[in-house]
């Protein structure tokens, strides 16, 4: 307990899955949490649970592709808690599309949310970290940002770009004690992945060497490490949480 004591964290996509698990775990470890999501009714349930359990959190409706809404989120976080120490760019959408059957508006939507949303988050949060002289940015990429995944062209392109962006930002802000790392989950059972997994369970099992799939908490603990001072010498890294997928 207390690994994030005194820290303020913004976590996007905090209503469900990995984002919700991260928000709850961060609060348990002492962070003040600003959870955001477009599903604000579901998000509020997570926020209420945190506050009932003795944590401190607020929830904000937030489209991460909107620059104006990013300004609002950061302003609210600073107004309420005085600073921002941690940014977890967790919000994202899936896109089971190949190049042949993809419309450009679909491509742009995935890029806007999965990549540009993270760019905007860093654009508006890093200046707040500069004021305090430290910070940790954790960009939730995917195993698809490291290896190819057939049938998910926009998704893998965005996640691969996020991986490279994280490294570039890590180098750019290292001298200011602002760390930037990416996390690459494999098969994690979440509301986003569960429907497709039910239809093709044997296919998904081929990618996980362990005899079980990952849970949101498995990723949240890795994100907690990168958010905490325990990882003070870690930046520009890729934390792979994939059940052995890339060990083959």
> Which positions are catalytic?
155
**Residue 147's closest CA among 90, 112, 185, 118?**
185
Q: Which residues contact 164 (CB under 8 A, 6 or more apart)?
A: none
Q: Which residues contact 119 (CB under 8 A, 6 or more apart)?
A: 165
Tokens 């002289």, residue located: 133
- As a three-state string, the secondary structure of 39-107 is CHHHHHHHHHHHHHCCCEEEEEECCCCCHHHHHHHHHHHHHHHCCCCEEEECCCCCCCCCCCCCCHHHH
- The tokens describing 83, both together, are 């600073």
User: What DSSP designation does 235 have?
Assistant: -
Give Cα 64 to chain centroid, integer Å: 12
CB 8 within 8 A of CB 31: yes
């Amino acid at each position: 307990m207390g690994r994030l004591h005194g820290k303020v964290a913004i976590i996007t996509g905090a209503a469900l899955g990995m984002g919700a698990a991260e928000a709850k775990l961060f609060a348990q470890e002492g962070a003040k949490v600003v959870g955001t999501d477009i599903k604000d009714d579901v998000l509020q349930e997570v926020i209420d649970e945190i506050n009932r359990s003795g944590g401190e959190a607020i929830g904000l409706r937030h489209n991460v592709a909107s620059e104006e809404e990013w300004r609002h989120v950061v302003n609210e976080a600073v107004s309420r808690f005085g600073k921002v120490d941690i940014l977890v760019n967790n919000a994202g959408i899936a896109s089971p599309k190949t190049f042949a059957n993809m419309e450009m508006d679909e491509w742009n939507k995935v890029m806007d949310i999965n990549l540009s949303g993270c760019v905007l988050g860093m654009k508006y949060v890093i200046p707040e970290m500069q004021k305090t002289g430290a910070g940790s940015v954790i960009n939730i990429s995917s195993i698809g940002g490291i290896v190819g995944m057939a049938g998910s062209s926009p998704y893998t392109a965005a996640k691969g770009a996020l991986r490279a962006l994280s490294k570039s930002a890590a180098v750019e802000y290292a001298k200011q004690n602002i760390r930037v790392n990416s996390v690459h989950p494999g098969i994690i059972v979440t509301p986003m992945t569960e429907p497709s997994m039910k239809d093709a369970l044997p296919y998904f099992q081929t990618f996980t060497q362990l005899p079980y799939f990952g849970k949101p908490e498995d990723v949240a603990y890795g994100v907690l490490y990168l958010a905490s001072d325990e990882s003070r010498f870690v930046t520009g890294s890729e934390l792979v949480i994939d059940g052995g997928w890339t060990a083959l």
